[in-house]
Amino acid sequence: MKLGMSPLSQTLCMDKTDTMKMGDVSARLTWVDLWVTTKRSGSKQIILQGITGYAEPGSISAIMGPSGSGKSTLLDTLAGRLATNTALTGQVRLNGHSKTTLSHGTAGYVTQTDVLIGTLTVKETIDYSACLRLPSYMTPSQKKAIVYSTIQELGLHDCRNTPVGNWHTRGLSGGEKRRLSIALEILARLRLLFLDEPTTGLDSAAAFFVITTLRNLSRDGRTIIASIHQPSGEVFEMFDSLTLLSGGKLMYFGHAYNAIEHFKAAGFPCPSLRNPSDHFLRAINADFDKMKSNLKGSFRTKDLESVDPIDRTRTKQVTRIISEAYQSSDQASFFKQSLTLTRRSFVNMSRDFGYYWLRLVIYIIISFCVGSVFFNLDNNFGDILGRAGCIFFVSGFLTFMSIGGFPFFVEDMKVFNRERQNGHYGVVAFVVGNTVSSIPFLFLIALVSSVLVYYMAGLHSGLDHFAYFVISLFAQVTIAESLMMAIASLVSNFLICIVTGAAIQGVFMLLGGFFMRIDKIPKPLWRYPLSYISFDMYALQGIYLNEFTGLTFENYVLDGKKISPPIPGWYAIREMYGIKGEFTKWQDISVLFAMILSYRIIFLLCIKLREKLEPFVRLKFTQYRTDKKLSSKHSEL
């Protein structure tokens, strides 16, 4: 069956003009004989079988089918997002050029879930995205114009100053959030847009408005492909083409309005008052074997052949346009991205009460309690333990409370994963932005806690000793924060993150040297290497040297009589805690700052590791759940 040129393609051929707009080129996507397979329980499973079709500029294409039919797999295949352990055969062509994966800048992908920063307004969200993605050579006025036109295009003008919304701030509706997610992807004027079930979770009115928005976007020459599950009749009428899948096989491909005639010819006419999409899915599910046979017999995908000149184009001009318009070099510079991410993260942290402000309030309350309990420590013999215990509790509590930030860390990682997959910026820029933006808040936490505890407890007087105490607490909190971020980058469930983070922190505190002298800790595993990996050991050594060196304590015997000479502070910590002064306190603080850098690098590597392992883990988990369901069904039979 020959497929002729669309009206748009005929116009392009006649006018001999390209459809570039603001530096972009129209995108015609074709896919030929796509087979996707994966291994499950040792055997090969076919997910997609010989799927062929195309999507043209100026059109909106729907991918439909019952659950498990392969809709999301086909969408991921076209977008180049297949898991690394799946096998793909066939061709995906962009403007006639073979592409197994679409390079950055070619396409946008809107996920089923809206992952947004809740404290930012609509305009701020789009502004920051513009700074991250638009070329550095563009002037601020040009970027502002693009942001404004994007807001207008998506119908977000009335809510432009409304925050997205989070756990303590009322914000956008579901439909507005979905349109904002779409706005973030079309901001860079990409001509190809993928959407994974954009109407899921929306009421009929919101779903209609979202698809209407997509319909308007397609009229601007964009190519839009969306997987969708049982759209309403009004929504279905807005689609130009329909790809209908069942069991990984192609049931229908062609103009959406011709699908009714196709089903009628196959023996499944649509009743006059029934929604066509409901009828298609009901027919497939009700009589699957017969439907599959009839539809496959009436629709032969192997005879598809396009004569569209855009698909045949091989000119140097198109190659140049695509390479220039779609290369990541057109993004903002690394410095600009890092600066923008720092600003955006700082704004989010400052506005979200639960991120740092709530913890600061708790730190103030606990620090006041600690200062009251250890109020005005003296230089008596018993105050040696008092000073050591006060310091340990403050440093231990501050670092342990970092697990309270896990819900927010996990949300940050969700936003990063969405933006990273769509090529908005790199991992290093994200780590730099997250690190720099958190420094003022962590330093404020360390400073406020230190002021309350240090002067209420009457610790070692002197500005230099107080400054060291603040710097040490700041380093410890920053290390703990870095460790928690590394865990959050690997585990997306914040409850699991809390348990994991608490366990690691507990082991580090155990090996810090307060509960048992360092030289008494068993050498295999616990002392070497774990105690030297634990930042608590270096923190306590340094802060004890800072506190006790230069102090003397009255000496007592059992009957309470004073004896001479008084006990030097360095002698007390050497005998009680095994701190022999092999390292100076400044060497200990240097190790802590080196650990900050090391843990941030570990954070970066964890992100990279997750990118490699997540597709494999997801597939194995899905296989496990599927096998478990199948085994339970067999046992019931």
pLDDT digits 0-9 by tens, 30-51: 999 999 988 766 678 888 999 9
**pLDDT (0 to 100) of residue 311:** 40
The full 3-state SS of 395-429, as one line of letters, equals: HHHHHHHHHHHHHHHHHHHHHHHHHHHCCCCCHHH
d(CA 193, CA 148): 20
Q: Widest CA span of the chain, in angstroms? A: 109
Q: What is the CA radius of gyration of the chain?
A: 31
Read off the DSSP letter of residue 200: T
Amino acid letter for position 50: G
**pLDDT (0 to 100) of residue 478:** 96
Q: Which stretches does DSSP call E strand in 168-211?
A: 192-196
Check residues 144 and 299 and name the one with the higher pLDDT: 144
Mean pLDDT of 222-240: 90
Among 610, 540, 611, 606, CA closest to 576:
540
Range list of H helices, 104-173: 122-133, 140-153
d(CA 78, CA 328): 20
> Residue 480's pLDDT band (boundaries 50, 70, 90)?
very high
d(CA 52, CA 253): 8
Among 534, 553, 633, 635, CA closest to 591:
534
Phi, psi of 594 (to 5 degrees): -65, -35
Question: How many beta carbons lie within 10 A of that of residue 100, not counting itself?
Answer: 11
Q: Does residue 135 have a cis peptide bond before it, meaning omega lies within 30 degrees of 0? A: no
d(CA 548, CA 36): 68
Sequence spans of domains, the chain: 2-28+59-66+190-330, 334-622
Q: Which stretches does DSSP call E strand in 295-345?
A: 305-306
Token code pair at residue 591: 């190790």
d(CA 4, CA 516): 81
Least confident of 374-388, 448-462, 621-635: 621-635
Least confident of 26-40, 324-338, 493-507: 324-338
In whole angstroms, how far apart are CA 200 and each of 195, 215, 254, 276, 286? Answer: 11, 17, 24, 18, 23
**pLDDT (0 to 100) of residue 308:** 38
Identify any residues that bridge with 297 across adjacent strands, giving them in sequence order. none
pLDDT above 50 for 286: no
pLDDT above 90 for 492: no
pLDDT above 70 as % of the chain: 82
Mean pLDDT of 233-259: 89
> Residue 429's pLDDT band (boundaries 50, 70, 90)?
very high
Mean pLDDT of 167-193: 87
pLDDT above 50 for 454: yes
The full 3-state SS of 56-121, as one line of letters, equals: CCCEEEEEECCCCCCHHHHHHHHHCCCCCCCEEEEEEEECCEECCCCCCCCEEEECCCCCCCCCCE
**pLDDT (0 to 100) of residue 135:** 85
The full 3-state SS of 438-498, as one line of letters, equals: HHHHHHHHHHHHHHHHHHHHCCCCCHHHHHHHHHHHHHHHHHHHHHHHHHHHHCCCHHHHH
CATH architecture of 2-28+59-66+190-330: 3-Layer(aba) Sandwich (3.40)
> Residue 543's pLDDT band (boundaries 50, 70, 90)?
very high
Check residues 557 and 391 and name the one with the higher pLDDT: 391
> Residue 619's pLDDT band (boundaries 50, 70, 90)?
low
Contact 23, 17 (CB under 8 A): no
Among 384, 364, 562, CA closest to 451:
364
d(CA 161, CA 170): 13
d(CA 191, CA 319): 16
Question: How many beta carbons lie within 10 A of that of residue 369, not counting itself?
Answer: 13
Phi, psi of 374 (to 5 degrees): -100, 35
Among 51, 53, 87, 83, CA closest to 69:
51
Distance of alpha carbon 483 from its chain centroid, rounded? Answer: 17
Question: Nearest 5 degrees, angle CA 390-CA 577-CA 596?
Answer: 70
pLDDT above 50 for 112: yes
Distance of alpha carbon 27 from its chain centroid, rounded? Answer: 27
Among 397, 556, 398, 389, CA closest to 459:
389
Q: Coil, strand or helix: which one is 551?
A: coil
Instruction: Give the residue carrying structure tokens 């291994």.
Output: 39
Amino acid letter for position 626: T
> Residue 287's pLDDT band (boundaries 50, 70, 90)?
very low
d(CA 185, CA 191): 10
**pLDDT (0 to 100) of residue 304:** 45
> Residue 204's pLDDT band (boundaries 50, 70, 90)?
confident
* pTM of the predicted model as reported, rounded to 2 decimal places: 0.78
Contact 244, 253 (CB under 8 A): yes
**pLDDT (0 to 100) of residue 318:** 31
- Please provide the average confidence, as pLDDT, over all residues in the chain: 83
- Which residues does 142 contact at the CB level (< 8 Å), separation at least 6? none
Buried b (16+ CB within 10 A) or exposed e, 66-83: beebbbbbbbbbbbbbbb
Secondary element (H or E) of residue 154: none
Instruction: Give the residue carrying structure tokens 């697990």.
Output: 403
**pLDDT (0 to 100) of residue 628:** 67
d(CA 416, CA 433): 11
In whole angstroms, how far apart are CA 324 and each of 185, 294, 320? Answer: 19, 46, 6
**pLDDT (0 to 100) of residue 328:** 39
Mean pLDDT of 21-38: 77
Pairing of strands 43-55, 29-40: antiparallel
Contact 231, 145 (CB under 8 A): no
Mean pLDDT of 57-84: 88
pLDDT above 70 for 3: no
**pLDDT (0 to 100) of residue 10:** 39
